[in-house]
Structure 1
Amino acid sequence: MTGEELLAPPGDETESLRQQLLQAQRLSSVGALASSVAHEFNNILTTIINYAKLGLRNPPDANTKQAFEKILKGGQRAAAIVNGMLGFARNQANIRENTDIVSLLEEVLLLTEKDLSKHRIQVEKRYIDRPVAPVVAGQIEQILLNLVINARQAMSHGGRLKIEIRENAVTQMAEIRIADTGPGIPPEQLRLIFEPFYTTKDPDSSGHGGTGLGLSVCRQIIEQHQGRIRVESVVGKGSTFTVKLPLSIPVID
Structure 2
Amino acid sequence: MASLAARRTVSEASAAQRRPHDHAVQFYDDDDFLSASVATFVGAGLANGQAVVIIATEEHREAFRRALLRRGLDVDAACSSGQMVLRDARETLAAFLIDGTPDWELFQTQVGGLVAKAASRSKGEVRAYGEMVDLLWTDGRPQEAIVLEQFWNDLRGIHSFTLLCAYGMGNFSREADGPDFHKVCGLHSRALPAESYPREADLDVQLAEVSRLQQRARALEHEIERRKQAEEELRKSREELERQNKDLLRTVRFSEMFVGILGHDLRNPLSAITTAASLLMRRAETDKVARPATRILSSAGRMARMIDQLLDFTRIRLGQGLPLARSANDLAEVCQTAADELDGDPRRIELHASGDTAGAWDGDRLLQLVSNLVGNALAHGARTAPVAVTVDGKRLEEVTLTVENAGAIPPEMLHVIFEPFRSGKDRKEDQSSGLGLGLYISHEIVLAHSGSIEVRSTQEEGTRFTVRLPRG
Shorter-chain-normalised TM-score: which range? 0.5 to 0.7
Q: What amino acid is aligned across from residue 378 of structure 2 in structure 1?
A: R
Alignment of 1:38-117 (within 5 A): 94-114=324-344, 116=345
CA distance in 1, matches of 2:376, 2:436: 11
Q: What amino acid is aligned across from residue 385 of structure 2 in structure 1?
A: G
| Contact 1:195/1:216 (8 A) holds in 2 | yes
Deviations 1:168-199 (A, max 9, x none): 325x1111111111x211333211111223x2
User: Which of 132, 139, 150 is equivalent to 2:358?
Assistant: 132
CA change 1:185–1:41 in 2 (3 A) is: same
CA distance in 2, matches of 1:225, 1:35: 34
CA distance in 1, matches of 2:418, 2:327: 27
Q: What amino acid is aligned across from residue 203 of structure 1 in structure 2?
A: D
Partner of 1:204: 427
CA change 1:26–1:6 in 2 (3 A) is: closer
CA distance in 2, matches of 1:35, 1:147: 29
Q: TM-score, normalised by structure 2?
A: 0.34
CA change 1:214–1:186 in 2 (3 A) is: same
Partner of 2:374: 148
CA change 1:124–1:24 in 2 (3 A) is: farther
| Contact 2:423/2:437 (8 A) holds in 1 | no
CA distance in 2, matches of 1:163, 1:32: 36
**Secondary structure class of the residue paired with 2:350:** strand
User: Shift of residue 5 of structure 1?
Assistant: 8.7
Partner of 1:176: 401
User: Shift of residue 131 of structure 1?
Assistant: 1.1
User: Which of 121, 131, 135 is equivalent to 2:347?
Assistant: 121
Q: What amino acid is aligned across from residue 427 of structure 2 in structure 1?
A: D
Q: TM-score, normalised by structure 1?
A: 0.60
CA distance in 2, matches of 1:93, 1:36: 28
Alignment of 1:232-243 (within 5 A): 232-235=456-459, 237-243=461-467
CA change 1:216–1:124 in 2 (3 A) is: same
CA change 1:206–1:163 in 2 (3 A) is: closer
Pick 1 or 2: higher relative contact order, CA cutoff 8 A, min separation 6.
1
| Contact 2:382/2:405 (8 A) holds in 1 | no
CA distance in 1, matches of 2:323, 2:243: 41
CA change 1:36–1:109 in 2 (3 A) is: farther
Partner of 2:410: 186
Deviations 1:78-98 (A, max 9, x none): xxxx9xx9xxx9xx9732101
Deviations 1:213-237 (A, max 9, x none): 2212111111111111111111254
User: Shift of residue 29 of structure 1?
Assistant: 3.4
CA distance in 2, matches of 1:154, 1:31: 32
CA distance in 2, matches of 1:148, 1:231: 13
CA distance in 2, matches of 1:219, 1:245: 12
CA change 1:224–1:206 in 2 (3 A) is: closer
Q: What amino acid is aligned across from residue 107 of structure 1 in structure 2?
A: T
Q: What amino acid is aligned across from residue 470 of structure 2 in structure 1?
A: P
Q: Unaligned 5+ residue runs, structure 2? A: 1-236, 283-300, 309-321
CA distance in 2, matches of 1:161, 1:28: 36
Number of residue pairs matched?
Answer: 192
CA distance in 1, matches of 2:343, 2:260: 25
CA change 1:177–1:34 in 2 (3 A) is: farther
Alignment of 1:11-30 (within 5 A): 25=262, 29=266
**Secondary structure class of the residue paired with 2:351:** strand
CA change 1:31–1:140 in 2 (3 A) is: farther
Partner of 1:160: 386
